[in-house]
């Protein structure tokens, strides 16, 4: 397995000592020190967990560490705990904050009435609750669209951002739209769909091959855990979201991180985002799919470290 990172020549412009595009050496399997199970145990024991009402749903959140705030925004199906291996290493330098998107079961959210701007406003509400006037953002997949909306909406609050598997738009195929509309009315979880776990395992087995054996199992369970109704609502929201008109307003340095084997976000949408952001750089991790935070945690953590220069940002309340 290779952990080589390829970067483009363009570097984000930043008046305050921009680190530019990271250049990370290869990470060999025998060098790996992070494990998912150990990091989850530490996160459970060391992070400060809470819940608050955004006005639209009761949001689960946590903070871990001390320093400049770094907020992790989850994607379509995985919760923000998919980042715990990176957080375990970064919490000595950053206050890592994560939260979960509305699911409509037990949190009071009315998913049918949700709009994309509400997700942005929920993020603002979380930062207000944590008394954070400035923070770095790390948006994953669908979460990258929330990060983009936030960067455009309150630019002074967010000095820079990392967009992992990001896009400004990601429309679904007609068959996927029809499936999502049907799943909105179905009980149960993704695990209840025929062959769901088997397909997820088959598409990702080679990318997890050099990780500890149980981590693919944990990933498959996590991917199958979301409620069908919540997943379908997010998928349709993603389908109808097009943030290309906002991109010209985003001036902050942004790093776009992708795996070279990402099957979920095509190069068309990657290039579209890169072209629309005037102050961005791109990093590509070799032999990596859509989930580098799980398959390449050491390389991904080093990318974050090199791009986010600790500055005089607010710190999470203890």
Distance CA 298, CA 30 (A): 12
Q: What is the pLDDT of residue 17?
A: 43
d(CA 136, CA 20): 15
Q: Inform me whether the pLDDT recorded for 318 exceeds 70.
A: no
Q: Where are the domains of the chain?
A: 5-169+243-307
- pLDDT tens, residue by residue, 95-130: 999 999 999 999 999 999 999 999 999 999 999 999
Dist CA 72 CA 114 (whole Å): 21
- Give dist(CA 145, CA 60) in Å, integer: 20
Q: Please tell me the predicted confidence (pLDDT) of residue 309.
A: 66
Q: Would you say residue 169 has pLDDT above 80? A: yes
Class assignment of domain 5-169+243-307?
Answer: alpha beta
Residue 256: predicted pLDDT: 98
Q: Do residues 12 and 255 touch, judged by C-beta distance below 8 A?
A: yes
User: Is the CB of residue 263 less than 8 Å from the CB of residue 290?
Assistant: yes
The closest alpha carbon to 218, from 96, 67, 37, belongs to: 37
Average pLDDT value for residue range 155-165: 97
Instruction: State pLDDT tens for residues 252-274.
Output: 999 999 999 999 999 999 999 99
CA dist 42 → 12, 39, 300 (Å): 34, 5, 19
| Rounded distance between C-alpha atoms, residue 163 and residue 247, angstroms | 13
Per residue in 172-209, pLDDT (tens digit) is 999 999 999 999 999 999 999 999 999 999 999 999 99
In this prediction, residue 19 carries a pLDDT of 45
Residue 34 is predicted with a pLDDT of 78
Confidence at residue 15, expressed as pLDDT on a 0 to 100 scale: 44
- pLDDT tens profile 205-249: 999 998 998 999 999 999 999 999 999 999 999 999 999 999 999
Mean pLDDT of 32-56: 92
Percentage of the chain modeled with pLDDT above 70: 86
Judged by phi (left if over 0) then psi (alpha if -120 to 50, else beta), residue 191 lies in alpha
pLDDT of residue 284: 96
User: Can you give the pLDDT at residue 213?
Assistant: 87
DSSP characters over the chain = ----EEE-S-----TTT---S-------GGG----HHHHHHHHHHHSEEEEEE-SSSEEEEEEESSSBEEEEE--SSS-GGGGHHHHHHHTTTSEEEEE----SSSS---GGG--HHHHHHHHHHHHHHTT-S--EEEEETHHHHHHHHHHHHSGGG-S-EEEET--SB-PPPHHHHHHHHHHTT--SBGGGSTTHHHHHHHHHTTTTTTS-HHHHHHHHHHHH-SBHHHHHHHHHHHHT-B-GGGGGG--S-EEEEEETT-SSS-HHHHHHHHHH-TTEEEEEETT--S-HHHHSHHHHHHHHHHH----S--B---
Half-sphere exposure of 206 (CA within 13 A, CB side): 8
The predicted structure's pLDDT at residue 29:
46
pLDDT over 80 (residue 18)? no
For strand 95-99 and strand 69-73, is the pairing parallel, antiparallel, or unpaired? parallel
* 72 vs 213: which has the higher pLDDT: 72
List CB contacts of 268: < 8 A, sequence separation 6 or more.
none
Q: What is the pLDDT of residue 26?
A: 45
Instruction: Say how far apart CA 241 and CA 141 lie, in whole Å.
Output: 13
């Amino acid at each position: 397995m290779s952990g080589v990172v390829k970067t483009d020549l363009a570097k984000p412009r930043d008046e305050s000592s921009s680190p530019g595009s990271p250049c990370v050496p290869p990470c060999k399997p025998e060098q790996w020190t992070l494990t998912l199970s150990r990091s989850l145990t530490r996160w459970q024991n060391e992070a400060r967990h809470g819940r608050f009402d955004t006005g639209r749903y009761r949001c689960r959140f946590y903070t871990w560490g001390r320093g400049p705030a770094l907020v992790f925004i989850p994607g379509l199906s995985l919760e923000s705990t998919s980042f715990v291996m990176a957080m375990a290493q970064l919490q000595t330098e950053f206050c890592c904050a994560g939260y979960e998107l509305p699911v409509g079961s037990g949190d009071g959210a009315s998913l049918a009435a949700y709009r994309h701007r509400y997700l942005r406003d929920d993020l603002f509400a979380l930062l207000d609750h944590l008394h954070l006037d400035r923070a770095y953002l790390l948006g994953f997949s669908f979460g990258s669209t929330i990060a983009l909306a936030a960067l455009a909406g309150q630019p002074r609050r967010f000095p820079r951002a990392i967009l992992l598997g990001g896009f400004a738009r990601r429309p679904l195929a007609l068959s996927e739209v029809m499936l999502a509309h049907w799943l909105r009315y179905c009980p149960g979880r993704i695990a209840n769909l025929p062959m769901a776990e088997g397909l997820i395992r088959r598409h990702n087995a080679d990318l997890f091959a050099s990780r500890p054996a149980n981590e693919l199992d944990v990933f498959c369970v996590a991917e199958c855990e979301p409620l069908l109704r919540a997943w379908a609502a997010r998928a349709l929201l993603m389908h109808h979201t097009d943030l290309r008109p906002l991109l010209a307003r985003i001036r902050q340095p942004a790093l776009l991180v992708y795996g070279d084997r990402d099957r979920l976000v095509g190069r068309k949408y990657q290039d579209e985002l890169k072209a629309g952001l005037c102050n961005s750089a791109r990093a590509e991790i070799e032999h990596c799919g859509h989930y580098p935070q799980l398959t390449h945690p050491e390389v991904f953590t080093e990318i974050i470290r090199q791009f986010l220069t600790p500055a005089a940002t607010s710190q999470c309340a203890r």
